[in-house]
Structure formats: structure tokens, C-alpha cells
Structure 1
Amino acid sequence: MNPTIPHGLDHIVHAVRDVDAAADFYVRAGFMLGGRNRHPWGTHNRIVQLKNCYIEILEVAEPEKIVPHGPRFFSFGAFHRDFVAHREGFSMLLLNSRDAVQDARAFEAAGIGSFDVFDFAREGKRPDGSTVKLAFSLAFAAEPNSPDVRFAVCQHRFPENFWNPAFQTHANGAQRVPGVVMIASDPSRHRDFLKAYTGATEVVSNAAGVTAHTENGDVEILEPSAASDLFGSHVKTGGEGMTLSAVRFSVADLARIEALYRQNGLAVRRHAERLIVPPEEAFGATLVFEPAKVG
């Protein structure tokens, strides 16, 4: 069995029905966004880039271009078409990869994926408007009991053309994503999957749930009451599987963000030294802002 290479956060897909409306929300929430990008399989996106990962705001804009799932082929477009048919929100978690081919083999050996590596390329634009080449290799993983979230790792072929500090300065002061939060009725049932997917040497379990501490942020699976304590509102699950509920952002000044959001008419609540933007405001997602750790 090939061991899985440890991973860290790379990006989170926020699936919506109207990418422009969602982009307007993110702008009012104090984030800088890139322009609209188009995929040949019918999805369009806009990117919010942080120092350690990014949010991919995604719309199924050209459903006629979507290809179906096939043997050893995961259709990114088909999954998101079906996802937004019944909900909006965080739909997919992607960790970083140094070798997508090796990761795909490791996922298959661990019984969490039997998909071929998916390679694609597109043009990107720098802040000055010049174009650069971008290319990615994805290795997918799945947990059969969790149909509302999918998983992958992403190898950037030209990372120097993608990551750019000019895109990482946000009016709300957001700097990094210290972690993402999934919810499940029984997190312990998903512990083995989390360990195999992240490649973490250790997955920590406690009464609240299970956590993989990666090189680039935490991946948590919380049970509903623990998530309710974190968000300051009632959280329930839609079944036995995992859902990708929230992204945590580290910021320098909570009061500054709170004032910005009230000025921009966004619903936000302060809870336990955090600011929470609820899913009814954030297109089905929960955004959690917390003070950046010093040192």
C-alpha cells in the first residue's frame, strides 16, 4: 500500500446558483475577488485568495456542457449541477498535493477513491491584466455515506502563476484560513476516512468530534451540539453523513469587521470572541471570523 503524503488546505468550493450575486456578497463582506473564469465542462468561478488557501465561488453556468460520471471518472460539473439543484453552500474540500498520481493510488489502496487523475489548464490574469498559464491535477476521494460533500487533492502545476500577494489583501483584514468545519451526527464514524484523506499522522478525537491537524490548517468534524456551541445557533444534520458547514478566517480586528458588516447591511453576530455570518446571509455557508493568533 502506498502511504498518503500529508496534505494541507488548498481550497474550498462554494457552490451557488448565481456567481455574480455571491461575488457581490463577498465584496460587501470585505473580500477582494478575481474575475470570472470559465471551465470547458460548464462551470464558472470567481476566486477569493487567502495566504494559505482560497475560496472558489462556483456556478453551473452552462449545464449543456456537463459530461456525466463514468467508470473511474468523477464529473465535477455533474456533481455541482446536482448539488445546487437542492441547496447552496460549501460543496467540496480540496487539500494540496505534491503528486496527484501518487495520491490517487493511495486513495484507491485505502478504499476511498477509484478515480483517474483529472488534469486541466486555463488562463489566469494577474492584477495588471496580463495573462498567465495555470494548470492543475486533481485526485478525487469520496465517502459513500456523505453524498453532499466531495473531496480531492489539487496539485498546482504553475503555483508561481496562481498565488499572488496582490490578491490576498482584503478590506476585512482576513489573512488565513486556520481551518474548516464539517458536521456529522457521529464524527467517529468518519475518523478513518479523515485520516486516509488528509494523510495526517494523527487524528485527535474528543467529545466534540475529530480533528486532523494538517500542515496548512485544521479539518474538523464536529457533532451537532459542538457545532452549535461554535456558531452560537442551533445546528442539525441531514442524515448520518458529513456536510461541509463552515470556513474559519483569522483576522486582525473583529470590531473593524463588525462595523464594516453593519455598514454594508450584512447579518452578523458576535459569539464567544468570534463573528459569525450565518448561512441565510452567506449563500448556504457559514463564515467564522476569529482573532489571528500571535506568534
Structure 2
Amino acid sequence: MNASSPRTAHPVDHLVLPTADLDVARARLEQLGFLVAPVGKHPFGTENICVYFGDDSFLELLAVGQRETCEVEARNGNVFVARDQAFRFRNGNEGFSALVMGTKDAEANHNAFVQAGISAGQVLNFSRAFRTPDGKEDIAGFRLAFAADLRAPDAFFFTCQRVNTPKVDRTAFHAHENGAVALREIVLSEVNPTDFQYLLQEVINQRDVNAHSFGMDLRAANANVTVLTPQGLRSFFNIESSENERGLRLQALVLAVRDLASVESLLAKNNIPFEKRGSRLIVHKAPGQGAAIAFEAL
């Protein structure tokens, strides 16, 4: 894309959180007050459960369903599976591996990533069955374009084009007991955040960067993408990150909720440890929850 042409920032489409066991992940998410969708199976060996929000974003908890299929797909150039395998090899089976932006043209994004020198591999087209809480089914189709930086092996990025949107009403999935309605912020860490400014500008399709003493922020269409230094991560989220670890790492997500006091009561009732930090309630990662989740009022 021409550097002088105007840009419209992509929205955050979803976040990918690898997990070892979807049953453990479902139990954890339900304890946190989320309504969790039924298991979805990918044609390339992975499977997921998702938490959908009213702003059209969602969380994808991803597990390995058919290991042999995944290994074959990775060898054959499936970037999604190959990056998931690499993440698990380096970090274990629980974590936060990918930030996914929504797009209307993944092929154009792929070409732009190639031109910018940040393409992570070939475009992926696939479809899978989708089921609503009342049992209605349809087929969802997707086209993905991947971006990455060799200096940051533990985080990758892709744009997701919804080629076929299921003809089903997803609003039933938005009725979370904790009142979560939208993604507010995605938090990454890096010792020198501006080293990755160019990568994130291309992925988010946003040139404006707000640099500050704790890191930098880029505004997606529906949320902030924040990269914090270890000091910033500690100050804002009480998460430790080594000053010696270079490379982007996805650390936390912030969700907007209708009533923060209700969330506090729910977490206490379910014996979920949390801490108050500023105007947020923070639940640190645990088995089935590969990232810190912060709740803040609308």
C-alpha cells in the first residue's frame, strides 16, 4: 500500500489462545462468567471453543484434536497449524499466540504483507461447521493472510476474512453472566516496543502510533493494541516480564463489562483469585486461561 494513501484501521476479529484441554478451558471460562460456544473442528486437525462478544469479536481457545493431521498440514505449508505447533513447542500448551484482525480482502492483505517483508506464508482458505445454542447449523468460511517477524517467534498475526457468514443468530452467545460486551485492549510486551512499530502498523493498517514512557498504543477500529515495556506491564497489570527477553509476547486482554461490582461478586462466589488495579479487576492466567484477563466498566 502506498505510504501516502489514507488507511482505515482493521478491527480486532479474535484472539487465539492455545490450550491443552478444551474441557478444562470451558470449565475455567464458565467460572469466569462466560457463555462458551460448542466445540468447532477445523479440517486441519485443530479444534476450538469460542467466546463471542457483542462487538463482533471473540476469543478462540485452540486445542490439538488430530495430531497426525496437524503435522501433515504443517509440513504442507499450513501457517496456522505450523505456528501453533511452534508456539506449543516453545511455550507449552497454554498461552496467547495470535492477534487476528478482521478484513474484507485477505488476498490484498497478503500482497501487502509480502511487499512489506512481513508475510509469514501462503493464504489459508477453509470452512467448518457452526452450531448455535439452539442447535441450528451452517457452514462458516474463512480466508487468512499471515504476518510475522522473525525477531518475535512467540507471537503471530493474521487477517481473517469471513467469506461465508453463517445464516444463524449469534446473539444468544453474547449473554455472558459476567456482563462482558466488548474487547477494549490487547496487551503485548517487549523491552523496546517501537522496534515492532512497523509490523503492527501494517497488521492493524494504522499509521498513527502513540508512544509513551511505558510503551506504545495503536488504535484498531474497535480496540487499542498496546505494547508495554516490562516496567509498564508490571505497573498496569502486575505481570512479570524479563528485561532480557526480546520479542513481542501477547500477555493480556481487557474486556468491557456492564457492571464491575457484579463481576467482583461472581469471581468471589466462584473462588477465582483476582486483584483490583486502578479501575480494573485482573484475573491472572491459569490452566485453560492462557492470558491475563482484565475487566473494566463500560
Relative to the length of structure 2, the TM-score reads 0.92
Q: Distance in 1 between matches of 2:119 and 2:165?
A: 25
Q: How does 1:22-171 map to 2 (within 5 A)?
A: 22-52=25-55, 53-66=57-70, 67=72, 69=74, 73-85=77-89, 86-87=91-92, 88-113=94-119, 115-159=121-165, 161=167, 164-171=170-177
Distance 2:143 2:175 in 1: 27
CA-based RMSD of the aligned residues comes to: 1.9
Change (3 A) 1:246 1:22: same
C-alpha distance 181-162 of structure 1, shift in aligned 2 (>3 A): farther
Q: Equivalents in 2 of 1:163, 1:238: separation in Å?
A: 47
Secondary structure, in 3 states, of the residue corresponding to 1:127? coil
Partner of 1:20: 23
Query: Percent identity at matched positions?
Result: 30
1:280 deviates by 3.6
Distance of 1:91 and 1:181 partners within structure 2: 12
Cα 1:229–1:162 shift into 2, 3 Å: farther
Structure 1 residues 205-214 or 281-290, which shifts more? Answer: 281-290
Distance in 1 (alpha carbons) for counterparts of 2:105 and 2:279: 39
CA contact (8 A) 1:5 1:103 kept: no
Three-state SS of the structure 1 residue aligned to 2:113 is helix
Corresponding residue for residue 179 of structure 1: 185
Counterparts of 2:117 and 2:155, CA distance in 1: 17
One-letter identity of the residue aligned with 1:57: L
Q: What is the distance in 2 between the residues matched to 1:187 and 1:168?
A: 34
1:35 aligns to what SS in structure 2? coil
Which residue does the alignment assign to 1:240?
246
Contact 1:60 1:80 in 2 (8 A): no
Equivalent residue letter for 2:293: L
Residues 225 and 281 of structure 1: CA distance in aligned 2, closer, same or farther (over 3 Å): farther
User: Where in structure 1 do 4 or more consecutive aligned residues deviate above 4 Å?
Assistant: 1-5, 68-71
The one-letter code of the counterpart of 1:188 is T
User: 1:78 is aligned with what amino acid?
Assistant: A
- Is the alpha carbon distance of 1:153 and 1:144 closer, same or farther for their aligned partners in structure 2, counting shifts above 3 Å? same
User: Aligned letter for 2:22?
Assistant: V
2:12 is matched with which residue: 6, 9, 12? Answer: 9
CA distance in 2, matches of 1:15, 1:42: 14
Q: Please give the secondary structure, in 2, of the residue aligned with 1:205.
A: strand
2:96 match: secondary structure: strand
Aligned residue for 2:185, secondary structure, equals: strand
Name the structure 2 match of 1:210: 216
Contact 1:183–1:237 (CA under 8 A) maintained in structure 2: no
Cα distance, 1:198–1:143 mapped onto 2, change above 3 Å: same
* Residues 46 and 274 of structure 1, relative CA distance in 2, 3 Å threshold: same
Give aligned pairs, total. 291
> What SS does the corresponding residue of 1:157 show, helix, strand or coil?
strand
Query: Per-residue deviation at 1:269?
Result: 1.1
Contact 2:184 2:224 in 1 (8 A): yes
**TM-score (norm: length of structure 1):** 0.92
Structure 1 stretches lacking a partner, 5+ long: none
Partner letter of residue 187 of structure 2?
A: V
Partner SS for 1:289: strand
Distance 1:244 1:163 in 2: 31
Distance 1:277 1:254 in 2: 13
Whole-Å Cα distance in 1 between the matches of residues 235 and 135 of structure 2?
A: 44
C-alpha distance in 1, partners of 2:142/2:168? Answer: 10
Cα distance per residue 1:9-36 (max 9 Å; x no partner): 0000110111110111000100001111
More deviation, 251-260/160-169:
160-169
